[in-house]
Amino acid sequence: MDTLGIEAFLAIIQTRSLTKAAELLHLSQSTVSYRLQGLERSLGATLVERRKGVPTISLTPFGESFVTLAERWNMLKREITLLQSTGPQVCLTIGAADSLNVYVLPPLYQIFSQQCPSVRLQICTQHTMESYESMERKEIDVAFVKMERVAPGIVVEPFYVDEMVVVRRRGEERTPADIVSPLELDCQQQIYFNWGPSYQMWHDRWWDANSPSCLQVDAAALIFSLMWDARQWAIVPQSIAKACAQKDVFVVQRLSDPPPPRVCYQLTPKTPDPVKASAIDRLNQFVQSIFPPNNTQQGR
């Protein structure tokens, strides 16, 4: 494979400009163009649309399809370079949902990196279904996801249960109640995040599914930056509330009739790569010590 051509192609993808790609690679524009043409010749296909007078580039359908392959090839090249410079080293690739990577898994990554320095962690943020698909294609070795599904060749086990709580901005009351009823919450003042099918069913029992909430978000971190009024509220997993809800700014309350807790799952291959099997076993030991089995039982 034309490594220099792929490097030029990825720079063009990143900058959407031959000129800026050349600046990024510290090359002349003609050199970048020459490398791109060489890659296209080796593939027997055009990757980039060439239109006079248009400052930004666009990809051909073949180019769009080739992006993922080029990124995977570049990742492989980096791993080969690392192997050449450091000698044999196990690389464990982990896929995980964004909220788990940010709010739940950092202690696991920290202790594993400290205790297993010979194993290099490569952490990818993925949607749950993307993690299942990546593991089926053997692109990742372990995954942490927010949904259980039957998948051939994959062991799916619960590893963490997150209680759902209410968060709101602190008002004038001196001692907020520890527990609040859903009946006390105005649907029009909520900042809504869809935590999954079971949460949605619970939500629809209390509030009209067709009634628009005040705000709807698709990233949990947005909840706290958009909550500027004491009347506003949101329901989040307790791990996120602990990480984001500063005590002097926000109030965290339990619900008298709470939604089902969020159960998170660990995915491992039924037949792991023999080279990585011991590293996966070691990771599993840390998972069980940080997230003990009794934590998962409450959500079953």
How many residues are recorded in the chain? Answer: 300
Instruction: Give which of 262, 258, 100 is closest to 195, Cα–Cα.
Output: 262
- Residue range 247-270, pLDDT digits in tens: 788 999 999 999 999 999 999 999
Per cent of the chain over pLDDT 90 is 52
Give the Cβ contact number of residue 156 at 10 Å: 16
Which residue has better confidence, 52 or 95? 95
- Which segment of 61-75, 98-112, 200-214, 256-270 scores lowest on mean pLDDT? 200-214
Who's near 9: CB < 8 A, 6+ residues apart? 36, 39, 47, 48, 63, 66, 70
User: Where residue 171 falls among pLDDT bands split at 50, 70, 90?
Assistant: confident
Retrieve residue 203's tokens. Answer: 């939500």
What pLDDT is attached to residue 215?
86
Kindly tell me the burial class for residue 21, based on how many C-beta atoms sit within 10 Å of its own C-beta (0-12, 13-18, 19 or more). buried
pLDDT-derived band of residue 170, with 50, 70 and 90 as boundaries? confident
Residue found under tokens 């490569």: 122
How far, in Å, are 3, 18, 39, 193, 260 from residue 35 at the CA level? 9, 11, 6, 46, 55
- pTM greater than 0.75: no
For position 83, what pLDDT does the model report?
65
Whether the pLDDT of residue 298 is over 60: the answer is: no
- Domains recognised in the chain with CATH numbers: 3-84 (1.10.10.10), 89-161+262-297 (3.40.190.10), 164-255 (3.40.190.10)
